[in-house]
Chain A
C-alpha cells in the first residue's frame, strides 16, 4: 500500500519540530534552513501552513531533469534525487510548479522530500497530528468523516 504525507494546517501550531526533524534526518544537524518541509506563518490571518513535495505522479521535476537524477522509489513512490547523478543545473526547480525542490548551495545539488524511505521524520515529530503519513488513496478520509458527521441523517418530523 502506497502512503502519502497528509497535512492539516488547522492543527499546525508553528513549532517547527518538523523542520528540525527533517534537517536532522537528512543532514545530521538541527537546521531549519536545510529542511525540505517548511511551515509558513500568515501572521495576520493567524494561519500556519506546513508545505512540502506532494510526490506528483507525473512529476515535472523528474521529467525535466536532463541527467535522470530524479527517480521513483519503488517502495514509497517518492521522487528521489540521486545526488551522485545530480549536476545542480536547477532545471527541476524551474519545472516544479510548487517550489518544493530547491538548490542547496553547500552541496551544489538539489534536494526535495523523499519521504525518508517510508518513515517520514516530520510526521513522526509533529506533536499535533498536523502532518501524518496515510494511505495514498485515502488522504481525504478525515475530511470525509468530518463532513459525514455534519450530514443530517435524522428522520425529520413531518410538519
Chain B
C-alpha cells in the first residue's frame, strides 16, 4: 500500500513492480519475463471511462517495456472480484487459463481452448462456467503462433493491443483469464460524497465538450480520417505519400452513408466501454455481398470497428479504399488477436517490397500491389492462421524488411510500427514516436490534440519550436491518466485539474496537482531507465530515413521533412537527461528515483 500512495495504480504502480522484479535484459519470451494485468484506482467506479486495465511486460515486438491499455468490461470485473493486479511469472507446462470467481482463483487446463480464436474462447468459457456474466480476456491463434504483435483481447473487440503483449502471454502458455466478480468496488473510497460530486462534475465537462460530447459519439475516432488527410499528415503507401485520394471512402462520414448494395449503413451503432459517457466505439456490419465475406455468414453479424487507427493502417497505409474489406481484416485482427496497426503497416512494407520487385507473387502467395484489398485480406487470414507468408508478416515490418535487405523501409521506431499520423505534417508526433518508451505510438503523447485540434492550446503542426516542451507535458500527463484507470480520450476535455478531485476523493495519499505532475514524470523516467538498462540508446530515439530525407509531396506540409534531429536534443534537455538520453543524477534525485 505504500507503493500505491506513491505510484497511484495501473501503469504507474505496475511499472514500479515490474522494474523491481524483472531484469531489463530478459528475453521477452522467456519464463523470466513477467506479465502484469493491472487496474487503476478509478477502474470499476462511476468515474467516466473508469473501466480501463493495462498489461505491463517487456514487449515481444520491441524488447522495450510495454504498457498496453484496454477498455471493455474486463478491468472493472477484475476489480469487482476484489483484485487490483495479477502478476504472471514463469511459464506453464501446458496450456492453461486463469479462472477467477471472487476469492476462488485457479489455473485450469486449457487444452480444449488452444488453437481456438478469441471469439470461440470467450464463448466456450462462458458456457462451461455456466455464467454469461463472466468476462474474458484471451489470446487468439496469433498469440499462440508467436506473431510478434499479438494482442490480448477482451470482451470480443477491445484489446491491449500494442507491442506484442499477447505474444508474451502465449509464451507463458496462458490462453485466457476469466473473471467474475460479485464483491463490487468503492468500499475503500476515501470520501464517497466528494467522489460522487467530483465524478458528476467531470462527466458534465465531457458532455459539454464538442469532441467528447459530439464528435466522438457520432463518428468515433474516425472523425479524424478526413481532417488528418486534409492536413497532409495521412501516411499513405508506406509513407511514400502524405495524402490518400480515397480517404473519404473509408472515413467516419462514409460509415454513416447507406450502401448502394443493401441500403444499410456500415455503422450499426456506437458503443461505450465500462463506465464511459463518451461512447466513441464503433459497431459495424460488413456488406454480406462483399467478396471478402460472401460465403462466410459468421462474419455477417455486427462486430467492433472501425476505429481511426485501424482504418488507416488497413486502408490508407496500403492505399486501399475499400471500407468493407478493411473492416473484414479488422474483425480478423480482433478474432485472432493481432494488432491492426502493426499488421496493416507491415503489409504496407510488404507491398512496397513487392512494388520494388524484392518480393514476388511466389514469395507472398498472391500478387500484392498497393491498393489490393484481396492481398490485404488474404494476408490477414494467413497471419491469423500462421500459414505461408503470414509467418513473415507476423515478424513485424522491422524484422521482415531486415530479412529482405531493406531495413530502412520499416516505418516505425524501436521495431514498432507508426500509427496514423505523418511526422512531416505533424512535427510533434515525430518526437512523440521517437521518444515513446514502448516504440512508435500515438497514445504516449497525443500532440495531435494541440497541433490539430487546439487542445488545450493550438500549436503550429509544421514547426519544431516548442515541441520538446509540448511532448514532455503530454507524456507526463498521459502517464497520470494511464495510472488512474480512466481513458486517455477524456483528455480532449479534461485536464489534470478535472482528474485530480476525482483521484483525491477516491485515494489515500493526498493527491495534489503537484504530486500528480511529479508522478507522471516519474513513471516516464522509470520506463526510460528500464529501456536504457535493456540496451536502448539515443540512436533508438530516431525515425526512419524516409521521414528525414523524403519531403512531403502534397498538402500543407509539402516540401517538409521531420525535424526530429533538431527536436531530440531539445527534448533531452527539457527532460533533464544527458545528450545521450540518460537521466542525470539531479533529475533522478528530484524525482526520488
Q: Which residues of A contact B (CB under 8 A)?
A: 13-17, 20-21, 23-24, 27, 29-34, 43-48, 125, 127-128
Contact = CB atoms under 8 A, between A and B. Distances in A.
B46 A21 contact: yes
B553 interface: no
A31 to B, nearest CB: 2
Contacts of A15: 272-277, 279
Given A15-B277, A23-B184, A31-B185, A46 B272 contact: no
Given A13-B270, A15-B272, A17-B277, 8 more contacts: A15-B276, A23-B184, A30-B184, A31-B185, A33-B184, A45-B301, A46-B302, A127-B279
Given A44-B301, A45-B301, A127-B207, A17 B46 contact: yes
Contacts of B283: 46
B272 A20 contact: no
B129 to A, nearest CB: 14
A31 B183 contact: yes
Contact of B271 (A14, A27, A31, A33): A14
21 contacts: A13-B271, A13-B272, A13-B279, A14-B271, A15-B273, A15-B279, A16-B274, A17-B275, A17-B277, A21-B46, A29-B184, A30-B44, A31-B80, A43-B156, A43-B301, A44-B302, A45-B268, A46-B268, A46-B269, A48-B271, A127-B203
A46 B272 CA distance: 12
Contact of A29 (B185, B272, B275): B185
Indicate the size class of the contact surface on chain B.
35 or more
B121 interface: no
Interface in B66-119: 73, 76, 80
Nearest to B277: A127
Contacts of B203: 127
A82 to B, nearest CB: 24
Q: Which 6 A-B pairs have the closest CB atoms?
A: A31-B184, A46-B302, A44-B301, A46-B268, A15-B272, A13-B272
A128 B186 contact: no
A51 B461 CA distance: 48
Given A33-B133, A45-B301, A46-B302, A16 B275 contact: yes
Given A17-B46, A46-B285, A30 B185 contact: yes
A82 B553 CA distance: 74
Contacts of B73: 16
B45 interface: yes
A86 B182 CA distance: 23
B110 to A, nearest CB: 23
A30 B82 CA distance: 12
A32 B80 contact: yes
